[in-house]
Chains A and B, each alone.
Chain A
Amino acid sequence: MAHLASDRERRPQELAAPGITPAPHRRIFSIVPGPRIWVPLLLVTLLLLVWEWAVNVRLLAPVLFSPPTVIAQTIAVSFADGSLTLNLGVTLLRVFGGLLVGGGLGVLIGMLMGWSRTVRDNTDPWIAAAHAIPKVAILPLFIFFLGIGEEPKIALAALVAFFPMLINTMAGVGQINPIHMQVAQNYGAGLPQLFTRVIFPGSLPLILSGLRIAFNATFVVVIAVEMVSGATGLGVILWRSWETLQVELLWSSLVLCGIIGIVFNLVLILAARILVPWQVRHQV
């Protein structure tokens, strides 16, 4: 039976299922184009046109609403003379300072809580209580202890960023398949390796979606703090334009906030593509 090649002589290359290609080249920088963008773009244009028209025919009171063309103009001018750039920069610095400190701590403690039942049981009530306290309400306390500089603002931003990051990280650890912990342990991973090679990467998808929540919460709070106690920042501009009823400046700042939200979201989507390419759906 010479025609029957022995099974053990055959090599398994042909086992690769059809349709599976070795394609390590991944597309990362391809956010913008695609036909899906046209429908939202059309809707936004339509909204802007209606808005412009409504202000022009005084359906919307011009004392309170600026038309989009004026808003766009104001933004361009304030960027050109630097007044908005500076204040925007200061606000973002506070937001990212808070995210870095509070979010970082949230990830660390969240990983510990997700990993250890004992840690979780003993800290969860405290977290629940602290989370419910309105953070802006304790701003005076922060000012009393930390002075009136940047510290109390960043500290408050950090406190706001802390909770969503912690909760999401903890959930992220919770959804790691226990088999992966067992594999790591069985293959000789110590605690530090368990955290860096399994727990952190395994919870990264949910950490990134926590970042989206944390960014928005922190941004809102920083603006609020600036409104009540700032000398600089987007919140100050918003507050002053309300006081003097400079509606075009008011609306420019609000639109800018929206743009920042969109940009940060795009950055996160890009970050997800780079950091969690193994997630089939890049949903932040």
Chain B
Amino acid sequence: MTETAPRELVCDRIGKTFRSQKRDILALEDVSFRVRPSEFLAIVGPSGCGKSTLLKIIAGLIAPSSGKLIFPEPETTRREDARPAPRSAMVFQEHGLFPWMTVLDNVTFGMEMRGIGKPEREERAHAFLGQFGIDAFAHNFPHELSVGMRQRCALARAFLTDPQILLMDEPFSALDAQSKLVLQVELLRIWKDHRKTVIYITHDIDEAVLLADRVLVMSGRPGHIRQEISVPLDRPRDLRDREQPRVREITWHIWQAIESDVRKSLQLPA
């Protein structure tokens, strides 16, 4: 490595073209940004602008067509775990849990892949599930749980894996409005204790502002970053913070940045 090891995650002019027989789709072009350690970054943007693609590139699930991704140097491992923490752990919108594993096996999967022994990973899991109110369901299968509980399990799995960066792709968008609010508060609470670096994708501007330190607004065709808005709001936060005039203003600002894109995607005049 030529430069000094970065402490930040760096996305440097990332581009992605999907090639198919019929035509090529330019999904991302020149996407550059940095994420500081322990930062909560939200990404909003109209449907199809390439948010999920970007997240999958960061997760290492698909390769970028151009540009590069620099991960921060891993901290020296705190524990004598068999293998180092993975770079990222992703939380999907839905169906991310393995249906054939119990809640316990699901949430310990990341630790299992790291070679952490069964007694230790189950001990850690029980502690975490207890805080999360799902310990009683450790031996249930995902189909026996409500959507909200499943998403809490998915969050628990990601946090327990203890990756360098947590990636969340609309984790609460399949929930009803009230459960969503409660889970947002829960996420804030857990995050406060762990201070993980998070990249959080959402369509919900209120959610982005409530959770994030900084919001990136993406725009489509091809996907690029249109604007960056920081949310200088004290932590810990709670739902009442949404009523602050400052927050209202930021939300309105983000909406203005997005509105024309959304109209375009709906074929409405701007």
Contact = CB atoms under 8 A, between A and B. Distances in A.
Interface of A: 6-8, 10-13, 15-17, 20, 22-24, 177, 179-180, 182-189, 193, 197-198, 201-202, 204, 276-278, 280
B266 interface: no
Given A12-B186, A189-B113, A183 B98 contact: yes
Given A7-B185, A12-B132, A280-B143, 6 more contacts: A12-B133, A12-B152, A12-B182, A15-B152, A20-B137, A182-B59
20 contacts: A7-B185, A12-B132, A13-B133, A16-B137, A17-B146, A17-B148, A20-B140, A24-B139, A179-B95, A182-B56, A182-B59, A182-B92, A183-B92, A186-B60, A186-B90, A189-B113, A193-B113, A197-B109, A202-B98, A278-B101
A201 B99 CA distance: 9
B145 A20 contact: yes
B149 A179 contact: no
Given A8-B238, A15-B133, A201 B100 contact: yes
Contacts, number: 109
A10 B179 CA distance: 14
A72 to B, nearest CB: 43
Contacts of B37: none
A188 B108 CA distance: 12
A186 to B, nearest CB: 5
B113 A278 contact: no
Contact of B149 (A15, A184, A187, A204): A15
A187 B163 CA distance: 9
A5 B86 CA distance: 38
Interface in B30-87: 56, 59-61, 83, 86
B161 interface: yes
A186 B59 CA distance: 6
A180 B90 CA distance: 11
A204 to B, nearest CB: 7
A156 B140 CA distance: 43
B133 A278 contact: no
A186 B88 contact: yes
Given A15-B182, A22-B140, A201-B100, A187 B152 contact: no
A187 B95 CA distance: 15
B220 interface: no
A186 B149 CA distance: 22
B25 interface: no
B141 interface: yes
A77 B137 CA distance: 54
B123 interface: no
B189 interface: yes
A74 to B, nearest CB: 46
Contacts of B56: 182
Contact of B86 (A15, A16, A17, A187): A187
A130 B161 CA distance: 46
B132 to A, nearest CB: 7
Contacts of A23: 140, 144
A189 B144 CA distance: 26
Contact of A277 (B59, B98, B141, B149): B141
Nearest to B157: A187
B122 to A, nearest CB: 14
Contact of B139 (A22, A183, A276): A22
B126 interface: no
Interface in B159-209: 161, 179, 182, 185-186, 188-189
A197 B98 CA distance: 9
Contacts of A276: 100
A109 B96 CA distance: 27
